[in-house]
Amino acid sequence: MKIATWNVNSLRARADRVEAWLQRSDCDVLAIQETKCKDENFPWELFERMGYEVAHFGLSQWNGVAIASRVGLDNVERTFLDQPAFGKGGKDPVQEARAIAATCGGVRIWSLYVPNGRSLEDEHMPYKLQWLDTLKNHAQGWLAEDPSAQIALMGDWNIAPTDDDVWDIDFFRDGGYTHVSGPERAAFEAFETAGYTDVVRPFTPGPGVYTYWDYTQLRFPKKEGMRIDFVMASPGLAARVSGASIDREERKGKGASDHAPVIVDVAS
């Protein structure tokens, strides 16, 4: 089984590219982030005509997550229990469309769009850390209940866990940017401590291997990217991973997302 995660940065704007990629990649399950549409605007037919069942969670023109599967789509869950809400500047907090789960081919797939943080001093940063901590506690509990559980926490984590995961760590640190701060990296590491493994890195080693390149400043042709999209697998699932890759080619060309698909091969 082939599973993948991809922040498409507006599904309706990139529907043709998503359809072509699914046909070319022969992917069984795709976790999607930043669909940027409500359920009523979601392009359901795009997936259905290719034989995929799809579940989507979108509340506005921002955020939005989905799972498309041709190996079953059961027990769909929108948000995780007690998922933190956010309200900017004291506004009423809203549970944003950032997490959706379904069981596909015996694997519990979570499509996750972790909050960005925006800046180290922004009120979005404590929200991001609380969001991750709540998810981590649940993820730890799932393994406590069933150590052999097949779970994939997939998506745009908006964290670069190591210095090699950004094109210039001094640029980020000197500029006081998010994604590389101590608290963010500790939040990511907590998932590893809880038993989850980055199953893509062993097959895509070394510095300079990225999943995201900003549209500005010619970041992509300059190879100035970040590795912020991950598949974190439970021990039972990690043992079945036989390969992984990052489809950098999909970042090229007109109308590309600023993220590349991340693919994992799972043995039966």
Between CA 163 and CA 167 the distance in angstroms is 8
Q: What single DSSP character describes residue 100?
A: E
Tell me the pLDDT of the chain (268 aa) as tens digits. 999 999 999 999 999 999 999 999 999 999 999 999 999 999 999 999 999 999 999 998 889 999 999 999 999 999 999 999 998 877 889 899 999 999 999 999 999 999 998 889 889 999 999 999 999 999 999 999 999 999 999 999 999 999 999 999 999 999 899 999 999 999 999 999 999 999 999 999 999 999 999 999 999 999 999 999 999 999 999 999 999 999 999 999 999 999 999 999 999 8
Q: In angstroms, how far is CA 112 from the centroid of its own chain?
A: 5
Q: What is the pLDDT of residue 122?
A: 86
Beta strands in the chain (DSSP E): 2-7, 29-33, 53-57, 65-69, 74-78, 99-104, 107-113, 151-156, 197-198, 229-233, 241-246, 262-266
Domain 2-266 fold: Deoxyribonuclease I; Chain A (3.60.10)
Between CA 232 and CA 200 the distance in angstroms is 8
With 0-12 CB in 10 A as exposed, 13-18 as middle and 19+ as buried, what is 134? Answer: middle
Residue in the structure block whose two tokens are 């990296």: 185
Between CA 22 and CA 139 the distance in angstroms is 29
Cβ atoms of 32 and 63 within 8 Å: the answer is: no
Break the chain into its structural domains and give their ranges.
2-266
**b/e 19-31 (16+ beta carbons within 10 angstroms → b):** eebbeebebbbbb
**Which helix (H) or strand (E) covers residue 185, if one does?**
helix 182-193
Helices (H) and strands (E) in the chain, counts: 6, 12
Q: What is the pLDDT of residue 87?
A: 87
Q: What is the pLDDT of residue 5?
A: 98
Q: For residue 228, which amino acid is it?
A: I
Residue from 187, 178, 155, 196 nearest 57 by CA:
155
pTM: 0.97
Q: Going by DSSP bridges, is the β-strand pair 2-7/107-113 parallel, antiparallel, or unpaired?
A: unpaired
Secondary structure (3-state) at 103: strand
